[in-house]
Amino acid sequence: MLPSDTESAWRRFRANLPELVWNAARLEGNSFTLPEVRTLLSGVTVGGHPSGDEAQVRALSEAYGALRDLVGYGRFHIDKSTSDRLNRILARHETPDAGRFRGEGTLRRNSSEQLRARFATLQERIAETDDPRLQALIYFCSAARTRFYAGANKRTALLMTTGILLSNGFDAVTVPHSRRLELDHALDTLVTTDDATELMAFLVDCAASEG
């Protein structure tokens, strides 16, 4: 995860947007191919796919667009409001509680207070390091482990991670769909052991492979 400059990282992010959307969708088992994603993002409808797959690709495209605007206008922040906004877009077709922590929505529970406390602790941990790369890794691992939302947790964590990196002149980390099993194994290890080492190493390896 080598440093670049914000403008170069920003330019590569915009150029690679279809690939970022496609890989994120494929990690969820989406059936769209990269050429079909490019076609859909150009405004042309692509047939032959479940409606849910098309909705997911469109939501990812809109969420990445929202992230682009937040970073571009200097409005990206590592806070609940930003995360909620991205999740609201990503999960709007998947859960009525999109954009709200578990327990804040239709089924209100005390667990929402615990999740808000965990998010505050995550912010404190991130503030303890000046290295944006470590901040991004900590964020993704913690958010994926905690599962703040009823849906689209990995996608939301990935976009927030991308925002942290782009805002500090680092390229977005792409997890290739071909490495989905590795990601799932690293996530399983994190959940069962509370050890994020494997997942962090995996994300760094994905970044190194891009370079």
**99 contact partners, CB below 8 Å, separation of at least 6:** 84, 85, 87, 88, 91, 92, 149
In one-letter notation, the amino acid at residue 173 is: V
pLDDT range class, residue 185, cuts 50, 70, 90: very high
pLDDT at 171: 86
Residue-range domain boundaries for the chain: 6-210
- 143 vs 5 pLDDT, higher one: 143
What would be the CATH architecture of the domain defined by 6-210? Orthogonal Bundle (1.10)
pLDDT at 7: 74
pLDDT at 70: 93
Q: What angle do CA 193, 194, 195 make, to 5 degrees?
A: 85
The owner of tokens 């990503």 is: 90
DSSP letter assigned to residue 78? S
pLDDT at 79 over 70: yes
Mean pLDDT, the chain, integer = 90
* Structure-block tokens of residue 123: 């912010």
| Full-model pTM | 0.92
pLDDT at 201: 95
pLDDT single digits (tens) 109-136: 667 899 999 999 999 999 999 999 999 9
> CA 191, CA 177: separation in Å to the nearest integer?
21
Strand (E) positions, 44-191? Answer: none
Of the listed ranges 31-35, 42-46, 76-80, 150-154, the one predicted with least confidence: 42-46
Q: Are 53 and 31 in contact (CB under 8 A)?
A: yes
In one-letter notation, the amino acid at residue 28 is: E
The owner of tokens 């009525």 is: 96
The whole-number average pLDDT for the span 86-112 is: 87
pLDDT at 107 over 70: no
The whole-number average pLDDT for the span 165-183 is: 90
pLDDT at 160: 97
**128 contact partners, CB below 8 Å, separation of at least 6:** none
> CA 107, CA 92: separation in Å to the nearest integer?
17
